[in-house]
């Protein structure tokens, strides 16, 4: 407490306390030392959404659980000024009544175009019709003002085509993201 370290050899510290920023509360926090994984957000569907057969559809994410920098709006996350860096995104969805030979895909879009290597696609067997869950995680470098959106694609042409429902009473599509520190 109150000690000043001018030449600290981190490899030989075996006991004691190393002060970091206190954030004005008297308690040392990682966030006060600039080690917060922000911006960060988690958002999900408030209700189900109809997804047409054979078309990419932007997922309506209208229920924010948290949004540290108010950077999620209009169903997209926009990197705020000074927020450039590497981000990790997790996302998932639940498609009701996927038909025989049908498939369901979630994909992130970066600045209005499909983000390469962010697709999570699953296929239904040739003998089954059932509900289907997909989840994924991707890390991507973003610049200030870049934006991320979640899209869904479903194809049930072998099962007669038509729309399917994304989400049900228990499971809604979601998207979360956080900037990584130290990379």
Rounded to whole angstroms, how far apart are CA atoms 33 and 12?
22
pLDDT value for 171? 93
Angle, alpha carbons 52-58-59 (nearest 5°): 95
Which residues sit opposite 103 in a β-bridge?
A: 123, 155
Does 86 have pLDDT greater than 70?
yes
Token pair belonging to 173 = 């599509």
Per-residue b or e along 77-114, where b marks 16 or more CB atoms closer than 10 Å to that residue's CB: bbbbeebeeebebebbbbbeebbebbbbbbbbbeeeee
- Give residue-wise pLDDT tens across range 119-139: 777 767 767 777 888 899 999
At 123 the pLDDT is: 66
Q: What is the pLDDT of residues 28-84, one digit of tens each?
A: 665 566 678 899 999 999 999 999 999 899 999 999 999 999 999 999 999 999 999
Alpha-carbon distance of 53 to 58, in angstroms, equals: 13
Q: How far is CA 154 from CA 6, 105, 121, in A?
A: 61, 6, 9
Enumerate residues 6+ apart whose C-beta is below 8 A from 146. Answer: 78, 79, 84, 110, 111
The structure's pTM equals 0.79
């Amino acid at each position: 407490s109150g000690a000043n370290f001018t030449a600290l050899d981190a490899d030989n510290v075996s006991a004691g306390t190393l002060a970091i920023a206190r954030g004005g509360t008297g308690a040392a926090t990682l966030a006060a030392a600039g080690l917060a994984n922000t911006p960060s957000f988690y958002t999900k569907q408030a209700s189900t959404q109809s997804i047409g057969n054979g078309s990419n559809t932007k997922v309506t994410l209208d229920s924010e659980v948290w949004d540290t920098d108010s950077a999620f709006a209009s169903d997209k996350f926009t990197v705020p000024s000074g927020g450039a860096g590497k981000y990790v995104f997790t996302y998932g969805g639940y498609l009701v009544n996927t038909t025989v030979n049908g498939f369901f895909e979630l994909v992130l879009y970066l600045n209005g175009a499909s983000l390469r290597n962010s697709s999570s696609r699953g296929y239904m067997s040739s003998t089954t019709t059932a509900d289907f869950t997909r989840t994924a995680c991707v890390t991507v470098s973003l610049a200030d003002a870049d934006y991320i959106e979640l899209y869904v694609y479903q194809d049930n042409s072998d099962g007669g085509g038509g729309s399917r429902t994304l989400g049900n009473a228990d499971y809604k599509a979601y998207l979360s993201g956080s900037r990584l520190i130290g990379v």
